[in-house]
Amino acid sequence: PCWRVEDFVVAQECTRCSSFQAKTIAQCSPTGFIEKISCATSKRDEFKSCRSAVMEAHIFWRFVGTMMCVAAIFAVLVVCRQRVLDRKALEKVRKQIESI
């Protein structure tokens, strides 16, 4: 590709590939987004795979939400386990006091 060896200008910003483009343009397959670039020296227009900032933000917030849910589940498990252990400790102390 000319953009690896030449200077280039982005002719069209990073956009999602249409279903037709996904089937016909090989650069769509890695990320599902492409940008059109114009190479300066050879004057050729080519497509380049790119990452969308909106897509990256969406994936990031999905990850954050998932981690928050996992953290909440484990926090509830810790609280429940602590209550069970506290009850066992109180029962043990009560039995020791009764045996005196």
Encode pLDDT of 35-86 as tens digits: 888 888 778 788 888 887 888 888 899 999 999 999 999 999 999 999 999 9
Nearest-angstrom CA–CA distance, 33 and 79 = 45
pLDDT of residue 17: 86
Q: Give alpha helix (H) positions in 1-100.
A: 19-24, 28-31, 53-99
pLDDT-derived band of residue 24, with 50, 70 and 90 as boundaries? confident
pLDDT of residue 6: 77
Mean pLDDT of the residues in the chain: 88
Spelled out in words, what is the top-level CATH class assigned to the domain 2-51?
alpha beta
User: Whole-prediction pTM value?
Assistant: 0.56
